[in-house]
Amino acid sequence: MIKQGHTLRATSRTDYSQLCHQMGIQFFRDVAEFLEADNHVILICTSILSLSKVLTSMPLTPLKTPTLFVDVLSVKEHPRDLLLRVLPEESDILCTHPMFGPDSGKDGWKDLTFVYDKVRIRDEAICSNFLQIFASEGCRMLQMSCEEHDKLAAKSQFITHTIGRTLAELDIKSTPIDTKGFQTLVQLKETTTRDSFDLYSGLFIHNRFAVQELENLERALQRVKEMLAQRMNEELGTENT
């Protein structure tokens, strides 16, 4: 964002003033002073579980002009509903999910997916300028409703994390006879467990479609077990006759 020429300001519970100074970012220890700084866009970067607490603790009265609020959570209906409830009516709302992180985006954002939903946009110019930050870096820009995002994320991202966490509980490790497929599973375990359990539990608690997908996964495992048991009975029965 800085390389593209944008002016950045930041605030956090943690004191990042030294790091921000090195990067050319103005850092505010006081949230109210940050909100008074006449920002065109406020990008909210919290965990899923802490969003409600952070939003309700923000003193929004110092906002001088209508502002575009953007979230980057991995669930979308939850932040949409919170932002609509908490923010002033004159504030614009853009819900986004950059579908990449420190691992997948470490070498650039080209061809990585950026999902967004224009929940409440009056100033199209500011919204377009913000989205252009990611489009200009080569992201695959995908406009999608928050509901559709959560349906798909429950079937993909949540299932991926669930399988990774399950493999971690199995404590799988590389062996001298690893197949390529098994190496992929070990990598999945390592990748998903690098994310916090707060993130994983947030994907479950605040995505209303995740419960159904977890039940579907349990039923699928049960069906596989039943197929194996049936085949074993058939084979052993054949041998005994």
The residue extents of the domains of the chain are 1-37, 153-237
Residues in the chain: 241
> How confident is the model at residue 61, as a pLDDT?
85
Question: Long-range contacts for 104-110 (Cβ within 8 Å, ≥24 apart)?
Answer: 108/137, 108/138, 109/134, 109/137, 109/138, 109/139, 110/137, 110/138, 110/139
- Segment 189-203, tens digit of pLDDT: 999 999 999 999 999
Q: What is the pLDDT of residue 208?
A: 98
DSSP 51-101: HHHHHHHS--TT--S--EEEE--S-SHHHHHHHHHHS-TTSEEEEEEES--
Can you name the CATH fold of 153-237? 6-phosphogluconate dehydrogenase C-terminal fold (1.10.3660)
Position of tokens 């100074």? 21
Locate 133 and state its tokens: 């930050």
Mean pLDDT of 83-88: 96
Distance of alpha carbon 144 from alpha carbon 9, whole angstroms = 29
Query: Has residue 238 got a pLDDT over 80?
Result: no
Instruction: Give tens-digit pLDDT for 17-65.
Output: 999 999 999 999 999 999 999 899 999 999 999 999 999 999 998 787 8
Cα separation, 234 vs 227, whole angstroms: 11
